[in-house]
A and B are shown apart, each in its own frame.
Chain A
Amino acid sequence: QEQLVQSGAEVKKPGSSVKVSCKTSRDTFSNYAINWVRQAPGQGLEWMGGVFGTANYAQKFQGRVTMTADESTTTVYMELSSLTSEDTAVYYCAKVVTAMTPKGAGDVFDTWGQGTMVTVTS
């Protein structure tokens, strides 16, 4: 069974940066986009962006987020800078598959990492 393995929890100070990793398989790295979704405590899911060759970011995070991929280790990274307390959340990576159905071909997040808790506190 495919697994995405994320790095461990982080505690950061306001104004600093955090870099979260997502280890994938060779097949996943080569063939699928990895997207990032975050979830603040007790809140819903928020899409941040994704990377497959090039990166595509939600406008909310433009200028503050960088998503990169290292082919040698088949690991995808999400770096978020200028952290504030509002960035305290669980960050998930997810593999995006284009599902072919009679109703159309749509992107789905079919495999998720276990999540990385990022706490921003002074």
Chain B
Amino acid sequence: DIQMTQSPSSLSASVGDSVTITCRASQPIRNYVNWYQQKPGEAPKLVIFVASSLQNGVPSRFSGSGSGMDFTLTIRRLQPEDFATYYCQQSDSTPYTFGQGTKLEI
């Protein structure tokens, strides 16, 4: 199985800051990484797909990059509603696997 290692596991930031979350795959996965946002008590929500495509309705302050084994999610000008847990996921092959999550806190 492909392991997805996310860092950091938690991150403190303030409204207006920019943050970057990284995800490393245990083997090359081309561009097949998706990023999800999850708030307490809610289902995950797709934010970025295939490394860098922005899901409809997601603000442009979110961006993704990377290919091969290393990927990043960047959020610029943090807003209060961005504080959540973020997960990367590889969809290169089954079993689809997720990173352990990054909790973004104020």
Contacts and interface: CB of A to CB of B under 8 A. Distances in A.
Contacts, number: 75
Interface in B90-106: 91-92, 94-101
Contact of A103 (B36, B44, B53): B53
Given A44-B100, A45-B44, A46-B98, A99 B50 contact: yes
Nearest to B32: A106
A60 B51 CA distance: 27
Contacts of B87: 44-45
A107 B31 contact: no
Given A99-B53, A112-B44, A113-B43, A106 B91 contact: yes
Given A45-B87, A101-B53, A59 B95 contact: yes
Interface of B: 30-32, 34, 36, 43-46, 49-53, 55, 67, 87, 89, 91-92, 94-101
Interface of A: 35, 37, 44-47, 49, 56, 58-60, 92, 99, 101, 103-110, 112-115
